[in-house]
Amino acid sequence: MQQQYQFNYQLFQHIQELAESDALLLEKARINTKLAYAPYSQFQVSAAALLSNGEIVFGTNQENASYPVGICAERSLLASASVLFPQAHVVTMAISYQSLKGNSNKPISPCGMCRQAIIEHQTRYGHTMRLILSGQTGQIFVIENAAALLPLAFISKEI
């Protein structure tokens, strides 16, 4: 029997269309791309997250000459958040990028490894996470439940 998977997301044309709190979070992610360490890819990624306790935390990609040693912005943010505020979960994460080799005007989506890390965070805290995905300009995607990006995810119940 064939099955189908699909999900819904909101599409915004400009940051001004977002709720004020979402626009603020996305703007912080956009600004913080300059803090990324990306000398090899020239692809600077930043994530900003609103936590359930009202705090905002950040993460950027940190590359390494030994490519597997680098870490993505989303996972650096999740690690920082869980250490700094272990009782708080991520409510909303905004992700943006700056490509030093080309355009930065389309929404970016977390890589597979980050999607798995986000699912683990949701499972750990028992709360869904909203995602705001964007470049420096252009369209913005808002996904109400990050789990939609990783159907058939590997979760702790399966271990």
Catalytic residue set: 74
Counting Cβ atoms within 10 Å, is residue 49 exposed (0-12), middle (13-18) or buried (19+)?
A: buried
Q: How far is CA 31 from the centre of its chain?
A: 15
Report d(CA 94, CA 112) in Å as an integer. Answer: 17
Q: 64 to each of 51, 72, 107, 112, how far by Cα in Å?
A: 28, 11, 25, 19
Cβ count near 5 (within 10 Å): 7
In a 3-state reduction of DSSP, which class is residue 101?
coil
Q: Walk along the chain (159 residues) and give the pLDDT tens digit of each residue.
A: 999 999 999 999 999 999 999 999 999 999 999 999 999 999 999 999 999 999 999 999 999 999 889 999 999 999 999 999 999 999 999 999 999 999 999 999 999 999 999 999 999 999 999 999 999 999 999 999 999 999 988 887 766
All domains in the chain, ordered by first residue: 19-138 (3.40.140.10)
Predicted TM-score (pTM) above 0.85: yes
